[in-house]
A and B are shown apart, each in its own frame.
Chain A
Amino acid sequence: MTDLAALSAGGLAKAIRDKKVSSVEATKTTIEQLKACHELTNCIITLEADEALAAAKAADAAIAAGTAKGPLAGVPLAHKDMFDRKGRIASWGARIRADQPASEDATVIARFKAAGALQVAALHLTEFAFGPTGHNYVLGHARNPWDPTRITGGSSAGTATSVAYGAIPAGMGSDTGGSLRLPAAACGITSIKPTWGRVSRAGAMPLASCLDTIGVIARHVEDLALTLGFLAGPDPRDPAATSLPVPDYVARLGDPIAGVRVGVDEVVIRDAHPLVQGMVEEVLGILGKLGLQRAACRFPDWQMLDHLVQLLQMPDAAAAHNAYMRTRPNDYGPQVRARLEVGHFIAAVDHMTALRARGTYLQRTLDTTFKGLDIAILPILADPLPTIAELDVAGGPKLQAAMGRVVKYTRPINYLGLPTLTLPVPRKGGLPNGIQLIGRPYSEAQLFAIGQAYQREVPPEIARPL
Chain B
Amino acid sequence: MASPEQPPAGSPAQDVAAYLDMPPERRAAAKAHVATLSATAGKVALELPLGADVDDFRRVLVAEAKQP
Contacts and interface: CB of A to CB of B under 8 A. Distances in A.
The secondary-structure label for the interface of chain B is helix
B25 A366 contact: no
Given A345-B31, A417-B57, A442-B64, A307 B48 contact: no
A329 B23 CA distance: 13
A400 B33 contact: yes
B29 A400 contact: yes
A356 B41 CA distance: 11
Contacts of A397: 25, 29
B1 interface: no
A325 B56 contact: no
A310 B64 contact: no
Contacts of A352: 54
Contacts of A338: 26, 30
B56 A359 contact: yes
B16 A345 contact: yes
B45 A353 contact: yes
Given A344-B17, A397-B25, A362 B34 contact: no
A357 interface: yes
A326 interface: yes
B5 interface: no
A397 to B, nearest CB: 6
The secondary-structure label for the interface of chain A is helix
Nearest to B67: A440
Contacts of B64: 366, 440-442
B10 interface: no
B54 A358 contact: yes
A242 interface: yes
Chain A interface residue bracket vs B: 35 or more
B38 A346 contact: yes
A314 B29 CA distance: 15
Most B Cβ at <10 Å: residue of A338, A357, A363, A417: A357
A402 interface: no
A112 to B, nearest CB: 25
B57 A441 contact: no
A355 B54 contact: yes
A359 B19 contact: no
A295 B52 CA distance: 31
B38 to A, nearest CB: 5
Contacts of B27: 341
Contacts of B31: 345
A355 B41 CA distance: 10
B22 interface: yes
Interface in B36-65: 36-38, 40-45, 48-49, 52-62, 64-65
A229 to B, nearest CB: 17
A100 interface: no
15 contacts: A196-B61, A244-B62, A244-B66, A307-B36, A342-B33, A342-B34, A344-B30, A349-B41, A359-B55, A360-B48, A360-B49, A363-B60, A417-B57, A441-B60, A442-B64
Interface of A: 195-197, 240, 242, 244, 303-304, 307-308, 310-311, 314, 325-326, 329, 338, 341-342, 344-347, 349-350, 352-360, 362-363, 366, 395, 397, 399-400, 417, 440-442
Interface of B: 16-17, 19-22, 25-27, 29-31, 33-34, 36-38, 40-45, 48-49, 52-62, 64-66
